[in-house]
Structure 1
């Protein structure tokens, strides 16, 4: 597990994956607000998702997690990691 210094007390470290997840959760609110503009980007990232799938997601992260699990056979953790990586790139 990678660690990164954050605004944590001196000498402590915050796991990078937790810091990144927190950043993505904060950015997800922005993604929800821009969902109509970002659907095309999501379609490129996950080509197996149809336009109808992305309409149903409507910017809801958990729905996107479920669709990625279903269409790509990913575990929940894998789907969440993919979304977090995508989230950082588009926000």
Structure 2
């Protein structure tokens, strides 16, 4: 997943991630350009999912 994919589709991705992992909050999903690693880490911590699973969810949400 690259930065442009995340940024360009952010509202769609955010909604789909919240559907998949209801325990995520808006604060967890506050995206700030340049902080992609922190965002992935927050999602991992909140959901208990592996990095690979989180990245796959992002990719699936973008397509």
Contact 1:35–1:58 under 8 Å retained in 2: no
Structure possessing the higher radius of gyration over alpha carbons: 1
Of Structure 1 and Structure 2, the greater strand share is in 1
Contact 1:49–1:71 under 8 Å retained in 2: yes
Equivalenced residue count is: 61
Give the superposition deviation at 1:83: 2.1
Of Structure 1 and Structure 2, the greater helix share is in 1
Q: Which runs of 5+ in 1 are unaligned?
A: 1-23
Give the superposition deviation at 1:82: 1.3
TM-score by structure 1 length?
A: 0.50
TM-score by structure 2 length?
A: 0.64
Within the alignment, does 1:82 sit opposite 2:57 as a pair?
no
Return the alpha-carbon distance in structure 1 between the equivalents of residues 55 and 26 of structure 2: 21
Q: Which runs of 5+ in 2 are unaligned?
A: none
- CA-based RMSD of the aligned residues comes to 2.3
